[in-house]
Amino acid sequence: MKRFDVRIAVGSLDGPRSNVWRFWSRKAEVYAAQSAMGGVEKFSFHTPNICRRAFTKEHGTPITLNNRATHRWLRDVTSTAGVVRVLRVGFATDLLSTALAPPKRSISWIKPAPSGWSTVIDLMFTRENETTLLKALTGERAEIGHRLVAYNRLPNGEAFCVSVW
């Protein structure tokens, strides 16, 4: 079990691209933020099953809200088989930009879908081992085009995974 910290963008450094998304963990807590909003807003996935979209502690609570959370929901319990998706982010290929500043850190680049299509990133929790999950995502009964980008076992026995399709 190691600390998880991954940065992903759709496109390429020298072509049209999306904003960078960062996914990281602290103990069994997992976070996600889009680079342009990273100091303002993030998604957090807390044990055992609390999910939040909230303003960051650094940004503070807007005067119109009682707390920093703008959305809060409960995720399903992670069973011994399968996955629990907690967030899905879509990137329309025809809306990727050439006007973004170059990233300052190392990025895992995801090839965009063909024009007129979208690339989707799924964030999931599972108790499956990495080999079993890979077979489920890429095996003959899997949805076409799925690829496991990151897998990290958390201290609570769950694994946090990022896949793209």
Q: What is the pLDDT of residue 144?
A: 64
Q: What are phi and psi of 24, to 5 degrees?
A: -150, 165
Is it the case that residue 2 has pLDDT exceeding 70? Answer: no
- Average pLDDT on 128-157 reads 83
Q: Average per-residue pLDDT in the chain?
A: 88
**Considering the entire predicted model, what is its pTM?**
0.86
Other C-beta atoms within 10 Å of 80: how many?
Answer: 7
pLDDT band at 21 (very low <50, low <70, confident <90, very high): very high
Characterize the bridge pairing of strands 50-55 and 41-46: antiparallel
Question: What is the tens place of the pLDDT at every residue in 68-106?
Answer: 877 889 998 888 888 899 999 999 999 999 999 888 889
CA-wise closest residue to 146 among 138, 135, 155, 154 = 138
Q: What is the DSSP letter of 97?
A: B
> Tokens 């190392």 — which residue?
106
How many CA atoms does the CB half-sphere of 135 hold within 13 Å?
Answer: 7
Burial (CB count <10 Å: 0-12, 13-18, 19+), residue 8? buried
pLDDT band at 146 (very low <50, low <70, confident <90, very high): confident
Residue 97, Ramachandran bin (φ over 0: left; ψ between -120 and 50: alpha; else beta): beta
Is it the case that residue 29 has pLDDT exceeding 60? Answer: yes
